[in-house]
Structure 1
Amino acid sequence: MTGFVRRLLRIAARPMKRDRGRGGYIVHPYRGYGSRHEAFLMGRVFRQAALGEVIPRYGVLRDLADVVRRIFRHGLPEVDVKVSLGENVATVTTDRDGYFDVHMPLEAPLPANSAWHHAELHVVLPGVEPVQSFTEVYIPPAEADLLVISDIDDTVMYTGVTNKLRMLHRLFVKRAHQRMAFPGVAAFYQALHVGRSGKARRPILYVSRGPWSIYEMLEEFFQLNRIPVGPILFLREWGISWRKPWPRRAEDHKYDLIQHMLSMRDELPCVLIGDSGQHDPEVYTRIVHKYPERIRAVYIRRVERKPERERAINRLRDEILHTNCNLVLADDSLAMAEHAFRQGLIAAEGLEMVRRESDR
């Protein structure tokens, strides 16, 4: 078995490691986001098989057994999930595959001195002990004056989305410390986070085309590269099931997802950051048409130089010239930062920090 296949097998098995082979019923929530008035989070309730004593705790055989357990993981439909966030409580029911979405009005205020808030989840099933879990929900502070929404793949870190084999290699084989952040990204996002005052604490939300199984790896990558951490939301669920043994076909619901993000603070202006390799310019232009007064800038990282693609992006740029928003097709983070400084979005110190980091 080649090293590449072994690494893919290890990654596919990784989500199963937490239960140490015990199996049973699990509620798996993802980090949520919201405003002072409402919160959103999602997750899944499922049952997975246990491992016997005869299978070694480590090695290829154990990884293979965990992948089989993942294939036969069974989502639990029509299960009630009780979610508590502070004194706010909501109960939702899972769909036919065990997934649930929570939209919780916040009738009881959350502490204003914190941006991250602890949510607890409880599931009661007949004949078994109650299943519990927890997650964090991000609520922007009151002093935030800008919302930043950023793609990850080929925007924050290089994954080679335009080359599918290279993307899979970087997603599934490279470890967090081996993944490559674009020069100046950390400094630029730090500058956007603190704003001109240096104390703005602006929310930065991230979206990715990757699977949920790389969630922890992305968080580690952000910390290693000093990139401001925020909720990470994925545009597809690559979960494996017996009925759907391959990743689910991605539907381009980034537009709807960004609208959810914008709903956190109706009055908050926004900056959108993406890359030229996929559909970011098209999706972001639709958002500008829908919210022409709110979107301050669209930054698109140039990841390939195809004349036809660049002409298409330039046409999109011209479509929104009548708004207050500029679409900037940029070669690097410094070009984005220079425009952001001219627009009053970051401080001079932030621009200089991006320039120094880009020159390394």
Structure 2
Amino acid sequence: MLKQALARIAHPVEQAFDRVFLRSTPDEVVIDPYLGYATPEHILLRGRVLTHLRRTNPAPEANWWVNLRQMAGLFLTREVAGKTVCWGEVTAQTDEEGYFTLHVPRGEAAPGWFSAEVAIDGGEGATLEALVPPADAPFGVISDIDDTVLETGAYSLLRNLWTSLTGNAMTRHVYEDAVTLMHGFVRLGAPVYFVSSSPWNLHHFLRRIFERHDLPKGPMFLRDLGISRTQFISGTHGDHKGAAIDSLLAANPDLPFVLVGDTGQHDPQVYLAAAERHPGRIVRVILREPGKGADRRDLARIEAMEERGIVVEHGTDYTAIIPELP
């Protein structure tokens, strides 16, 4: 109720601010490309139309103030609504926050990364990519990002904000055991997807970190921090992660899934709820225990998942799990 009330107040304020200071319908616009994914019928190409792209210039020696200014700049986007994006005869319109999804018929698309040159009216085109899983994939993997593969201190709000806002793509720490674990899944033929409560503004930033540390390339499901008439920000962390899991299980109806996360942001609760919504689809859960580790509520939810026949592995790192993978 509180968030709905805040939304009713904040939405017209945001619209007025955008009309005066940010949003416009410029002659030239660009696409911020996001990695997409496939369903049995379609390949979903995703992106966002902006007036221009904002990128950081990371340097290992940059001080916290330089990093903070560059990170803040990523959020000062000028989104463009009502633009048409097309690939051949397939079109999509951008919404009020500039987002779009093209539903391209999957047809006989080969497994791997599907690539398409898309066009936009009154602006530059872009190359969009989407992951098409192999027909013989043994399972799918949905992995959290914060404190699962990327150290953020998300279990502590202040630590998370400081780490996220004052670091850059050259200084952020990725867990080496997570890199090894994800590559093990890829060698088994499993498609890997990533979920985070980070906003879509950080998609390119996160991709640079992943590339620098040789993490497997995978579609990301990030969070819309925009304000609508009915929602102040885009739900809770759990709502967002649960919705992403639901979408990916629906997109891969024949695959069982492995969920990878941590105990710092209620992943046991989210993963148990997902297992209850999708009986038999979640076969394994792997959890890192950052900070103080699993509390009694986490342990109770882990036990509840095990009672459903799910293999749950948890500890301070993934080293005990990695030897099982090729």
- 1:154-173 equivalences under 5 Å are 154-173=147-166
Q: Matches of 1:316 and 1:149 in 2, distance apart?
A: 19
Q: What is the match of residue 181 of structure 1?
A: 174
1:278 correspondence with 2:283: no
Deviation at 1:96, TM superposition (A): 2.9
SS at match of 2:137: coil
**Does the Cα contact within 8 Å between 2:27 and 2:123 map onto a contact in 1?**
no
Q: What is the match of residue 323 of structure 1?
A: 308
1:210 correspondence with 2:191: no
Deviation at 1:194, TM superposition (A): 1.2
Q: What is the match of residue 95 of structure 1?
A: 95
Residue-pair matches, total: 284
Q: Which of 81, 87, 92 is the aligned partner of 1:76?
A: 81
Pick the structure with greater CA Rg.
1
SS at match of 1:162: coil
The residue type paired with residue 262 of structure 1 is L
SS at match of 1:321: helix
**Does the Cα contact within 8 Å between 1:23 and 1:48 map onto a contact in 2?**
no
The answer to which structure, 1 or 2, has the higher relative contact order (CA under 8 A, 6+ apart) is 2
1:39 correspondence with 2:73: no
Q: Matches of 2:77 and 2:284 in 1, distance apart?
A: 45
TM-score scaled by length of structure 1:
0.68
**Does the Cα contact within 8 Å between 2:119 and 2:126 map onto a contact in 1?**
yes
**Does the Cα contact within 8 Å between 2:150 and 2:172 map onto a contact in 1?**
yes
**Cα distance change on mapping 1:267 and 1:26 into 2, 3 Å:** same
The residue type paired with residue 28 of structure 2 is G
1:227 correspondence with 2:215: yes
Q: Which of 109, 118, 123 is the aligned partner of 1:121?
A: 118
Unmatched 5+ stretches in structure 2 = 1-25, 54-64
Deviation at 1:217, TM superposition (A): 3.1
SS at match of 2:117: strand
Q: How many percent identity over aligned positions?
A: 29
Q: What is the match of residue 55 of structure 1?
A: none
**Does the Cα contact within 8 Å between 1:171 and 1:210 map onto a contact in 2?**
no
Q: Matches of 1:69 and 1:161 in 2, distance apart?
A: 20
SS at match of 1:320: helix
TM-score scaled by length of structure 2:
0.75
**Does the Cα contact within 8 Å between 1:34 and 1:261 map onto a contact in 2?**
no
Deviation at 1:276, TM superposition (A): 0.7
Q: What is the match of residue 288 of structure 1?
A: 275
**Does the Cα contact within 8 Å between 1:296 and 1:324 map onto a contact in 2?**
yes
Please give the per-residue CA displacement for 1:226-247, whole angstroms capped at 9, x wherever unaligned.
322212221x1346x9x99xx9
Deviation at 1:130, TM superposition (A): 5.1
**Does the Cα contact within 8 Å between 1:75 and 1:98 map onto a contact in 2?**
yes
Q: Matches of 2:220 and 2:185 in 1, distance apart?
A: 17
The residue type paired with residue 253 of structure 1 is H
Q: What is the match of residue 125 of structure 2?
A: 132
Deviation at 1:101, TM superposition (A): 3.1
**Does the Cα contact within 8 Å between 2:269 and 2:301 map onto a contact in 1?**
yes
SS at match of 1:335: coil
Q: Matches of 1:176 and 1:233 in 2, distance apart?
A: 19
SS at match of 2:100: strand
Quote the RMSD (CA, aligned, Å).
3.4
Q: Matches of 1:209 and 1:167 in 2, distance apart?
A: 12
**Cα distance change on mapping 1:183 and 1:29 into 2, 3 Å:** closer
- 1:58-73 equivalences under 5 Å are 71=76, 73=78
SS at match of 2:185: helix
**Does the Cα contact within 8 Å between 1:292 and 1:324 map onto a contact in 2?**
no
Q: What is the match of residue 109 of structure 1?
A: 108
